[in-house]
Chain A
């Protein structure tokens, strides 16, 4: 980026001089590569794998613009332009479904982001290693439970006659329709997601905190700082780079929310909030294994995600002294 601005401001200068500067830059770059060939060797496996397994199949993305025929294959199929996109965008409930998706993902991100961090900070304060180990074990366990079972458990716990509603009925006389009321869908979806994943997600933060020099804490304590102050001034800064990256990537994944959990949690009555893009596409496309349609929707989502990523990255960089994804 910086090189670009420099070049721009020198537009009015001597052309030969500018060309010479470019040549020198290139020379420098080549020399760097030659001197540091080891670094390029290191990154080579990743590059090769990426090209082979991600870029070569990428031509398949154009299936979104085609009327996919199994015999003709992706390349031979008829080009239909934006037909699939229009079909999607003009579905009668598109607006509702889009907003449901956005809200579910966004609230999930905002609520789910701080919790693993807080957990890591709290765990960090536990002195006795044995206790800490056991707490961690318990907190990580829900991650291993499949979505199907989690939803099954939700239906049992939250049913009008289940344990939670038994308490509610005692207090208010009436059970709450957690599973049928559209207003509760999001909260239950997100909270159960946090229940399942927060512990596991905190691992990465715990690992980062493990690198904090205990000397820093000792010094701070001697200076009279209490735990909270130490957390804010020592631990948090250590986590900042990780937090920034996680948040940006999370924002860039908002439209990529999975289909399975919402689909399992749908009941006849909570559809106004539980029908999200992936579940809708699954139902409509279920008719025919319509790859093209779901690819078009996927592309639509990806474009939105990229935009979100760029925007959020920009914002975070501003707040985080220029440190973002790039």
Chain B
């Protein structure tokens, strides 16, 4: 043991000496340019150092993108980029922050609420509300047109610490995010078997049974999968169906009643009835055996093979293609005639899109540069892509007279690749009123919005969704701890009950367990967040 003591002492000594040695340098932010009353283009070019991320498909130096080149011309500001691919970005970003290498700003920072508050508390990023007021007219007009976002941008301590990304496609109940897991039913099979589109849950069950037993794909094998989904919160889950039984279900299990009460969906009586129904379907062999473990790839593969009677996803073109084989199924009436489409709490709003660090010595310059991004025509390009590029395909064509950017048809090019190569993301705002004035809706979004409006919106009973509340650090901490265990428990029990039908028996102990995992605290925090936000 003497030996161990000797080693420990030697170690401590070394550590003490060494700890004096580590230094902090924040040399990565650019020097002070002392520019006042900045107006673009600048007479002399200056450089700012930003950090960002991009997909591996995009050019390594963001300045190769036409949008940034044009911005540089217009402003006279050259941006020196530290660009990381998305898979390593978070680690690199955290390391840079932790080792004191702060750039002037981080664009596409992917900061969650907790990050923002922590960094603000540490003094790594600065509050920007004054900058917005003094130097950013474009952003101000956006906030005037849509004041609800100001509250969402503001932290519990009253400051604004980041610049948001806002993309409105439809608004209120018609917003494109209001339902993510749309149900698509195989109308080819319906027609083949002479069946009508089901209107109630019972009818659906019969239709699914028919799919299973009457061989609608005509190959002599009972290989049809009547119902499939991915048992995980998201666009491929069957959460949509719970609407027929009560308040419904969405990916964060949060629904607000019309009396303003925040409710946990998975402890609701309606939820229980829904689970019972699914168990009936399971007992009849109507549910894909792989639904509880499969991943996206397996799900898609079977979909492309048209093996599903009914499945869920954001947009059918991803899975079964843009054709007439599958169609959107309208919401079903439950056993007591109840029809409801639960709304998700999704919104085209990303709080921590861009931040200015405390190492930045050129606040006016940076703020004005960022404000350029909120100019409507600029925002549109930054989000989707650009026009007038003679080196590669364009997303838009520019109508000079109307000063509008019109979406071009993509002619079979992979939309993703093109967007990621040409757009820049970043902080921007696209408000619903821009459509028809500054730009047109992208074709796939327009189509989906129409569908939602016709089929789903009329049945949405909830007047309110749960907004993007900006919680405090303590609240975020508590919520994350509770949700990690509680949400996983909910999904697990749901999967078990669908298969074994024991929901009624185990319901009481389930509720008790939810309480043990912190459900009451969770409700309290979320309710006070909601009340604060009105």
A and B are interacting partners: yes
- The answer to whether the Cβ of A70 comes within 8 Å of any Cβ in the partner chain is yes
Cα–Cα, bound, A10→B486 (Å): 63
Assign chain B's interface to a size class. Answer: 35 or more
- The answer to whether the Cβ of B290 comes within 8 Å of any Cβ in the partner chain is yes
Cα–Cα, bound, A289→B91 (Å): 8
- The answer to whether the Cβ of A82 comes within 8 Å of any Cβ in the partner chain is no
- The answer to whether the Cβ of B35 comes within 8 Å of any Cβ in the partner chain is no
Interface-forming stretch among A19-27, A133-141, A279-287?
Answer: A279-287
Q: A283: which B residues are within 8 A, CB to CB?
A: 484
Whether A73 contacts B293 by the Cβ 8 Å rule is no
Number of chain A residues whose Cβ lies closer than 8 Å to a Cβ of chain B? 38
Docked complex: A53-74 residues within 8 A CB-CB of B? 55-56, 58-59, 68-73
Whether B293 contacts A70 by the Cβ 8 Å rule is no
Cα–Cα, bound, A34→B476 (Å): 62
Q: A72: which B residues are within 8 A, CB to CB?
A: 122
Q: Who on chain B is nearest to A63 by CB?
A: B98
If the complex has contacts A4-B2, A268-B491, are A92 and B15 also in contact, measured as CB distance less than 8 A? no
Q: A56: which B residues are within 8 A, CB to CB?
A: 14-15, 18, 21
Whether A155 contacts B480 by the Cβ 8 Å rule is no
Chain A min CB distance to B146 (Å): 28
Chain A min CB distance to B470 (Å): 15
- The answer to whether the Cβ of A288 comes within 8 Å of any Cβ in the partner chain is yes
Whether A288 contacts B115 by the Cβ 8 Å rule is yes
Q: B14: which A residues are within 8 A, CB to CB?
A: 51, 55-56
Cα–Cα, bound, A291→B94 (Å): 10
Cα–Cα, bound, A180→B293 (Å): 7
Q: B114: which A residues are within 8 A, CB to CB?
A: 287-288
- The answer to whether the Cβ of A262 comes within 8 Å of any Cβ in the partner chain is no
Q: B488: which A residues are within 8 A, CB to CB?
A: 268, 271, 275
Whether B11 contacts A55 by the Cβ 8 Å rule is yes
- The answer to whether the Cβ of B90 comes within 8 Å of any Cβ in the partner chain is yes
Whether B295 contacts A91 by the Cβ 8 Å rule is no
Cα–Cα, bound, A314→B2 (Å): 18
Q: A70: which B residues are within 8 A, CB to CB?
A: 97-98, 100, 119, 122, 124
Cα–Cα, bound, A130→B132 (Å): 75
- The answer to whether the Cβ of B221 comes within 8 Å of any Cβ in the partner chain is no
- The answer to whether the Cβ of B522 comes within 8 Å of any Cβ in the partner chain is no
Which of B90, B231, B476, B516 has a CB less than 8 Å from the CB of A92? B516
Per-position 1/0 for B466-477, Cβ under 8 A of A? 000000000011
Q: Who on chain A is nearest to B488 by CB?
A: A271
Cα–Cα, bound, A301→B15 (Å): 22
Whether A71 contacts B94 by the Cβ 8 Å rule is no
Cα–Cα, bound, A75→B15 (Å): 12
Q: Who on chain B is nearest to A266 by CB?
A: B488
Cα–Cα, bound, A92→B112 (Å): 24
Whether B476 contacts A287 by the Cβ 8 Å rule is yes
Cα–Cα, bound, A75→B480 (Å): 27
Cα–Cα, bound, A70→B94 (Å): 9
Q: B492: which A residues are within 8 A, CB to CB?
A: 268-269, 271-272
Chain B min CB distance to A88 (Å): 10
If the complex has contacts A56-B18, A269-B492, A291-B98, are A180 and B292 also in contact, measured as CB distance less than 8 A? yes
Cα–Cα, bound, A291→B496 (Å): 35
Which of A69, A73, A175, A267 has a CB less than 8 Å from the CB of B289? A175
- The answer to whether the Cβ of B24 comes within 8 Å of any Cβ in the partner chain is yes
- The answer to whether the Cβ of B22 comes within 8 Å of any Cβ in the partner chain is yes
Cα–Cα, bound, A59→B18 (Å): 8
Which of B122, B290, B292, B485 has a CB less than 8 Å from the CB of A69? B122
Whether A269 contacts B484 by the Cβ 8 Å rule is no
Which of A73, A87, A92, A268 has a CB less than 8 Å from the CB of B100? A73
Q: A288: which B residues are within 8 A, CB to CB?
A: 112, 114-115, 118
Chain B min CB distance to A180 (Å): 5
Q: A51: which B residues are within 8 A, CB to CB?
A: 14
Whether A268 contacts B115 by the Cβ 8 Å rule is no
- The answer to whether the Cβ of B19 comes within 8 Å of any Cβ in the partner chain is yes
Whether A179 contacts B293 by the Cβ 8 Å rule is yes
If the complex has contacts A55-B15, A180-B495, are A267 and B2 also in contact, measured as CB distance less than 8 A? no
If the complex has contacts A70-B122, A72-B122, are A269 and B518 also in contact, measured as CB distance less than 8 A? no
Cα–Cα, bound, A70→B231 (Å): 38
Q: Who on chain B is nearest to A178 by CB?
A: B293
Cα–Cα, bound, A291→B232 (Å): 28
Which of A69, A175, A177, A284 has a CB less than 8 Å from the CB of B480? A284
Q: Who on chain B is nearest to A289 by CB?
A: B94
Q: A155: which B residues are within 8 A, CB to CB?
A: 293-295, 298
- The answer to whether the Cβ of A161 comes within 8 Å of any Cβ in the partner chain is yes
Cα–Cα, bound, A288→B476 (Å): 10
Per-position 1/0 for B387-413, Cβ under 8 A of A? 000000000000000000000000000
- The answer to whether the Cβ of A159 comes within 8 Å of any Cβ in the partner chain is yes
If the complex has contacts A71-B124, A283-B484, A284-B481, are A59 and B293 also in contact, measured as CB distance less than 8 A? no
Cα–Cα, bound, A71→B98 (Å): 7
Whether A59 contacts B19 by the Cβ 8 Å rule is yes
If the complex has contacts A59-B15, A175-B289, A271-B492, are A92 and B115 also in contact, measured as CB distance less than 8 A? no
Chain B min CB distance to A177 (Å): 8
- The answer to whether the Cβ of A226 comes within 8 Å of any Cβ in the partner chain is no
Q: A87: which B residues are within 8 A, CB to CB?
A: 481
Q: B484: which A residues are within 8 A, CB to CB?
A: 280, 283-284
Chain B min CB distance to A24 (Å): 18
- The answer to whether the Cβ of B517 comes within 8 Å of any Cβ in the partner chain is yes
- The answer to whether the Cβ of B358 comes within 8 Å of any Cβ in the partner chain is yes
Most buried by A among B295, B485, B494: B485
Whether B112 contacts A287 by the Cβ 8 Å rule is yes
Q: B298: which A residues are within 8 A, CB to CB?
A: 155, 159
Q: A59: which B residues are within 8 A, CB to CB?
A: 15, 18-19
Most buried by A among B98, B232, B491: B98
Q: A284: which B residues are within 8 A, CB to CB?
A: 480-481, 484
Cα–Cα, bound, A275→B516 (Å): 18
Chain B min CB distance to A119 (Å): 32
Chain B min CB distance to A157 (Å): 12
Most buried by B among A73, A155, A180, A271: A180
- The answer to whether the Cβ of B121 comes within 8 Å of any Cβ in the partner chain is yes
Q: A175: which B residues are within 8 A, CB to CB?
A: 289
Chain B min CB distance to A225 (Å): 44
Per-position 1/0 for B416-431, Cβ under 8 A of A? 0000000000000000
Docked complex: B6-41 residues within 8 A CB-CB of A? 11, 14-15, 18-19, 21-22, 24
Q: B494: which A residues are within 8 A, CB to CB?
A: 268
- The answer to whether the Cβ of B123 comes within 8 Å of any Cβ in the partner chain is yes
Q: Who on chain B is nearest to A284 by CB?
A: B484
Among all A-B residue pairs, the 9 with the closest Cβ atoms: A160-B289, A69-B122, A288-B114, A56-B18, A70-B97, A287-B480, A179-B293, A71-B122, A289-B94
29 contacts between A and B (CB under 8 A): A51-B14, A55-B15, A56-B15, A59-B15, A70-B97, A70-B98, A73-B22, A73-B100, A75-B19, A75-B22, A155-B293, A159-B294, A159-B298, A160-B290, A177-B293, A180-B292, A180-B293, A268-B232, A268-B488, A268-B492, A268-B494, A280-B484, A284-B480, A284-B481, A287-B112, A288-B112, A288-B114, A289-B94, A291-B98
A-to-B contact residues, CB < 8 Å = 4, 51, 55-56, 58-59, 68-73, 75, 87, 91-93, 155, 159-161, 175, 177, 179-180, 267-269, 271-272, 275, 280, 283-284, 287-289, 291
Given A71-B122, A269-B492, list of 9 further CB < 8 A pairs?
A51-B14, A68-B98, A70-B98, A73-B100, A87-B481, A268-B494, A269-B496, A280-B484, A289-B115
